Structure 1
Amino acid sequence: MQKHDRKSRFEKLKEEQFDLLILGGGATGAGAALDASLRGLKVALLEKSDFSAGTSSRSTKLIHGGVRYLAQFHFKLIHEALTERQRLLENAPHLVKPLPFILPTYKLYEKPYYSIGMTMYDILAWKGDLPSHKRVSKEEVEKDFPALQTKGLTGGILYYDSQFNDARLNVNLARAASKEGALVLNQTELLSFQKKDGKIVGGKVKDLLSGETYNVKAKIIVNATGPWVDDIRLKDDPRTYRVLSPSQGIHLVFKKETIPCNTALIIPKTKDGRVVFIIPWEDHVILGTTDTPIHEVSQDPLPLESEVEFLLQTGSDYLSKPLQRKDIISVFSGIRPLISPEGNQDTKNISREEVILVSPSGLITMGGGKWSTYRKMAEDLIDRVLKEGGLEEFGASRTAKYAFPGKVGYSENLYKEIQKMYKVTEVSAKRLQNFYGGEVFIILGKKPTPLLKGIEYFQEEVEWFAKEEFALTVTDVLARRFRIQFLDLKVSAKLATPVSQILAKQLGWKESQRKEKETTALELIESLRATYTGK
């Protein structure tokens, strides 16, 4: 997004009257902006940091029903999530992929016991295209997941869910909302609400890049700020009660050579009561997640020593080769914005179902939910917005069959054409195919230029991020556009300088600004490395 374009957007923000102002550009906020725009509402979407900079980029990368919810009898939530899973497989095939899972069994009764539960899972996925589960032998499990500890192994269950690139899906939601007419701005903070007769009619916002402030008028304001929903609620009413019961989940990242696997693995029973996954993702393997109640919410949460140790131990218990700290190449932490109006602090048992709260001022807050159901959450939220605002004339949601940017021109074998045209490795060709889908040739052109020799990330990609995907900082690119910060911190550090140089040209930074933003990105990378290296 060019500098002059950002200025014109703020002028539009100041001058127009919006039907809906959405605070928070994560899955919920960006999804709601797209839903509302497609219905014809005049929408503004404001994000204080970057799209998906919070929880929405730090998930386990799964679009799934939630196998663990079977034991809690959350059948409605599971069915809804599995229905949405199928929609995403159809609407964003480049970003959402089928993923086979192994659930290993070590006792004779476990295979029929788990099979009963997975039969219910299959039934709840009615009309989905993914294969049903099946019981598999010890030999088949060893073939599918070679890294698994085989002592006492009797076989397992093979079932399917889906995985996705969360931050890229989120950024594409923001792009789609903008394409459909929404005014979309990141690095924009709400300072205060404006009221008339006790009802919210707008707000004062700040451009965090220029420091300028603007007044914005809106009939309805939605608070979709995830872990920061209470901060916004307190700006509305300092006497209100807190509804957030936050918990932290972390993931460790390894090279595929460290944990050889052809499928994902689910560990159903752990010491902290959560399911733990070992999942191949972007040619790496991630291990997570934890559930640690926290008291303070951070923009860039860091893993606790106890969490790192727990995951290393849990992984080692199930793998033939114990995991060591030196094997970790990256780590990421996310905060679950669980809403508990009743004050329940047991975060493992708080329902992941969505919660909508309407304040006396008219502020509408949405929390809870999960990535898998973001579209249905957005539909429910905008339905409530129309009801509260007397805007029923705008009609029903139109997102169920909405094709994401990149779907047109995409195929599962597109990587072969990419590999042939650009002379890149198969791994890189698949990354490019799955990041951009049918837009890949528009982005890269005829002969893309590598950012660094021997590393197949390209200058043209960074230029695209700045022009079309709202990237405004080095970390925006490394963490949420390239995803390399989530995969390999050493490579991420190497790319910081060339990325900052391209962004400087695109966004008009002075050399001092470029160095400052590069340093900020490198400091974050080093702080993440220190959490598991101790250095």
Structure 2
Amino acid sequence: MRTRDLTRLESAVHDVLVVGGGIQGLTIAYECASRGLTVALVEAGDFGGGASFNHQKTAHGGLRSLSTGRIGRAREAIRERRALARIAPWLLRPLPFLMGTYRSAIRSRVALAAAFKVDGWLGRHRNDGVEPELHLPAARLVSKAATIALFHGIRRPRLTGGAQWYDYQMVESDRLTIAFAAAADRAGADLANHVEALDPLKENGRIAGMYVRDGLTGRTFAVRARLTVNAAGSRAGVLMAAFGILNACPLLKAMNLVTSKRASDIALAAPAADGRMLTLVPWRGRALVGTAQSRALVDPDDTAVRGSEVDTFIRQANAAFPALDISRADVTLVHRGVVPAQIGRDGVAELRPDPEIVDHAAQGAQGALTVIGVKYTTARGVAERAADAIGKRLGKRLSASRTAVTPLPGAAIADHEALAIEAARAARLEVPTPAIGHLIALYAEATPRVISLMAEREGLRAPLVATSDTIGAEVVHVIRSEMAMRLTDIVLRRTGLGSAGHPGRAAIERCAEIAAAELGWDPARTAAEIDALEKVYLIE
């Protein structure tokens, strides 16, 4: 990615200004830029730092939609799951799921067999154009004995067997988000994180961009655009209000628990006491449990983790997965985000099922459009539809979309190991095989750049601490090449150092030391960056 340069944002009038750098905003920026529009994007925090950081690292194919008869939604999920496998095969792996079947109307073997038959027909092209190692087997029913053997602690009364299906796990989900940012940058979009949108810029009765503030310096300036796209996630309602649109945007808090408990290679699904389906997913050898949601509506900035919320979720998880037996001490990180909701027929708030694209011209806000996404998996498809609407509004004929088949930077399958070994040999540097494996898993074809930094500076060759795989050169690389501007950017969403739990104070301090030298932080700023990171792991 190019260096963060705010002059690119303020020196030209762009076709499109995207406000919000989560997965939905990034895919819109990528889609629009790749189809010929000039694009700027601002994100108040870090790319993928909100709800995009909070998910179960799974690309779902839409089986749950079939249970409610939403065929179109299931078809879209299958199509977009395949698109991710085509454009980011390096960052995905097939993951089997298992749930019990029971003598009941909804979860009986007959009901699941029927759902699997429909899913098989909808997904008959699921492996077209996908690397062979990512081909997904067909869903199937399994015996009661096999289910009991694979799903330890499964509820036995009325159990008749099991249902198994496959989806994709995003092995490094935050790297996938950064890959979309890199793709948008490669297509010519001007991106900037830590830039907050403040108020609309209005000219001749229409919205002509946004006044924004650089979160690193406090400087305020204008970004001009022919169309402003509100993809601000939890703050979409706040931005709509700034446009003069008072649409209701209810929100819920969603949470996933990263634990220190070991997990097998199969994901499990079971209902919580209230009937909502929970899943236990293996990730980096740990059990990742989700997704819980708040019962009451929340404010956009309510991302604090309260002990009472975690304890309630733990009780639900242990009821669904008795063999897990987790306690507060086993929770290493609480992934959380504020997500779109709706009020159900019974008056209870629930997760919003469908995305929405709203052109505000008819509501008196010419030059503004809002996109509300609901799933990471389908963000690219929503972005394609949004770009179509944007092109129509701007009166421009856009080129055909290619984002469903064009590999993302750092996400394509190649012999990255051989390239890394050759780079080390050329630099006359001895890089251990495990270190190369670690680097290519994260940086793929960019690994030679990390090795070059190791060759230039001996102090960057060693792990940050003896218990960590992350080396000093990674910290410098993500600052220079991936727009990591804060310690949280580096530790949580670039290197993965702390994405599964607190990496230890020594690792944090060493990472901060390297970042301070690279970014020019003084001791007070360095201490503030460390404090901000520590708060991520805090349970109130």
Q: Is TM more than 0.5 here?
A: yes
What fraction of aligned residue pairs are identical, expressed as a percent? 26
Q: Which letter maps to 1:245?
A: P
Q: Which letter maps to 2:377?
A: S
What is the CA deviation profile of residues 264-306 of structure 1, one whole-angstrom value per residue up to 9, with x for unaligned ones?
0111x32334210100112321011112232312264425614
Distance 1:416 1:265, change over 3 A: farther
Q: Which letter maps to 2:39?
A: V
Q: 1:407 maps to what in 2?
A: 411
CA–CA distance in structure 2, aligned partners of residues 15 and 361 of structure 1 = 24
Greater shift after overlay, 10-19 or 148-157? 148-157
What is the CA deviation profile of residues 289-330 of structure 1, one whole-angstrom value per residue up to 9, with x for unaligned ones?
112232312264425614532343433443335322222222
Match of 1:277 among 276, 279, 286: 279
Match of 2:472 among 453, 459, 469: 459
Q: 1:524 maps to what in 2?
A: 536
Q: 2:34 maps to what in 1?
A: 38
Match of 2:234 among 207, 227, 235: 227
Q: 2:458 maps to what in 1?
A: none
> Offset at 1:174?
1.1
Q: 1:254 maps to what in 2?
A: 259
Aligned residues between the structures: 513
Which SS does the other structure have where 1:521 is aligned?
A: helix
CA–CA distance in structure 2, aligned partners of residues 113 and 344 of structure 1 = 25
> Offset at 1:56?
0.7
Which SS does the other structure have where 1:406 is aligned?
A: coil
Q: 2:301 maps to what in 1?
A: 298
Distance 1:345 1:194, change over 3 A: farther
Pairs within 5 Å for 1:86-125: 86-107=82-103, 110-125=108-123
CA–CA distance in structure 2, aligned partners of residues 66 and 494 of structure 1 = 43
Which SS does the other structure have where 1:102 is aligned?
A: strand
Q: Which letter maps to 1:126?
A: R
Q: Which letter maps to 2:371?
A: M
CA–CA distance in structure 1, aligned partners of residues 536 and 321 of structure 2 = 31
Greater shift after overlay, 432-441 or 218-227? 432-441
- What RMSD, in angstroms, separates the aligned Cα atoms of the two structures? 2.9
Greater shift after overlay, 403-412 or 33-42? 403-412
2:166 maps to 1:160: yes
Distance 1:399 1:18, change over 3 A: same
Q: Which letter maps to 1:119?
A: K
Greater shift after overlay, 342-351 or 120-129? 342-351
CA–CA distance in structure 2, aligned partners of residues 322 and 349 of structure 1 = 27
Unaligned runs of 5+ in 1: none
Distance 1:321 1:215, change over 3 A: closer
Which SS does the other structure have where 1:53 is aligned?
A: coil
Q: 1:310 maps to what in 2?
A: 313
Pairs within 5 Å for 1:60-209: 60-107=56-103, 110-129=108-127, 130-145=136-151, 147-149=152-154, 151-152=156-157, 153-164=159-170, 165-209=172-216
Distance 1:54 1:349, change over 3 A: closer
2:511 maps to 1:511: no
Q: Which letter maps to 1:212?
A: R
> Offset at 1:24?
0.2
Match of 1:395 among 387, 393, 399: 399
Q: 2:376 maps to what in 1?
A: 371
Tell whether the 8 Å contact from 1:98 to 1:161 is kept in structure 2 after alignment.
yes
Match of 1:243 among 239, 248, 251: 248
Match of 1:336 among 325, 334, 339: 339
CA–CA distance in structure 2, aligned partners of residues 185 and 305 of structure 1 = 36
Distance 1:175 1:412, change over 3 A: closer
Tell whether the 8 Å contact from 1:338 to 1:368 is kept in structure 2 after alignment.
no
What is the CA deviation profile of residues 352-394 of structure 1, one whole-angstrom value per residue up to 9, with x for unaligned ones?
33343424222100103311111111111111111112122x3
